[in-house]
Amino acid sequence: MSDLNAQMVEKYRNSFLKEVEANVEEGEWVKMCMQCGVCSGSCPLGPYWEHPPQEIFMMIRAGKREEVLKSESMWMCTSCYNCIVRCPRGLPITHIMHGLAHYAERLGLAPKQNPTRRFALMFWDNIAKHGRVNETVLSIKLYFMDGFSAGIKRALEMLPVGLGMLKAKRFNPWGLFFHKGCKGKRDIQKILAKAREIELAKAAKFGG
């Protein structure tokens, strides 16, 4: 168990809902859910979720902390916003899903092999380093995420798309070797470092 996780378990012994309200982005909305089911029924990925959003909200209120935080469910969200526009109570469901995923990650409870999680981390490393995404490097890393042979296979499958993009100048193979990044890359890194510091301080405060 990570330190932060242990602290949180201690602090919110009786109420996972309170923990979510205090630590998860838009978490204070969870109690507003009236369990109507529209979000779950409207989600294009609905059939693939183990626990659709409506159920996640109920599980939070029922105190199913481990089950929620270790779940793959909120990692399924593709930010299509269908749920948000339809929710009769105006819950920012998409943001709560990302907030939960992020919180689980911070606590070290997120499922390690979840592909969305791995992609998110890769994307973050990539953009944080250069201040701008290097799409070439990112796609290659993504293809080879599950090893060399799987990567070759995936790359071959995507070849026609890649060639098309090359023709349309939407893809720059030289990016593999040269990447300009953005102006003031250093400053961006400083901003990110500061943001991280604030976030950790906040977490430590709730933990203490």
Partner 1 sequence: MSEPVATNQTILVVGGGISGMTAALEAAECGKQVILVEKNPSVGGRITQLYKYFPKMCFPACGLEINLRRLKANRNIRLLTMAEVTRLEGEPGDYTATIRIRPRYVNENCTACGACAEAVEAEFDDEFHFGLKKRKGAYLPFIMAYPQRYVLDPRIIGTEDAERAKAACKYDAIDLDMQEQTVELKVGAVVWATGWKPYDAARIQPYGYDRFRNVITSVELERIMDPNGPTGGRLVRPSDGKEAKNIAFIQCAGSRDRNHLKHCSRICCMASLKQATYLREKFGDEGRATIYYIDIRAIDRIEDFYARVKADPNVSFIKSKVASITEDEKTGDVILHGVDTEGYHRYSNRHDLCVLAIGMEPSVPAGEFPIELVVDDNGFIQSDPANGAIFAAGCAEDALDVNRAVQSGTAAALKAIQVVNRVAGTEG
Residue ranges that bind ligand SF4, judged by CB under 6 A: 33-39, 42-43, 45, 53-54, 57, 77-83, 87-89, 91, 93-94, 97
User: Does residue 44 bind partner 1 (CB under 8 A)?
Assistant: no
Interaction partner, residue 108 (ligand SF4, partner 1, none; CB < 5-8 Å by kind): none
Residue in 9, 22, 38, 158 binding partner 1, rule: CB under 8 A: 38
Q: Write the secondary structure of the chain as one string of H (helix), E (strand) and C (coil).
A: CCHHHHHHHHHCCCCHHHHHHHHCCCHHHHHHCCCCCHHHHHCCCHHHCCCCHHHHHHHHHCCCHHHHHCCCHHHHCCCCCHHHHHCCCCCCHHHHHHHHHHHHHHCCCCCCCCHHHHHHHHHHHHHHHHCCCCHHHHHHHHHHHHCHHHHHHHHHHHHHHHHHHHHCCCCCHHHHCCCCCCCCHHHHHHHHHHHHHHHHHHHHHHHC
Interaction partner, residue 41 (partner 1, ligand SF4, none; CB < 5-8 Å by kind): partner 1
Interaction partner, residue 51 (partner 1, ligand SF4, none; CB < 5-8 Å by kind): partner 1
20 or 97: CB nearest ligand SF4: 97
User: Does residue 90 bind partner 1 (CB under 8 A)?
Assistant: yes
Q: Which residues bind partner 1 (CB under 8 A)?
A: 34-38, 40-42, 46-47, 51-52, 54-55, 85-90
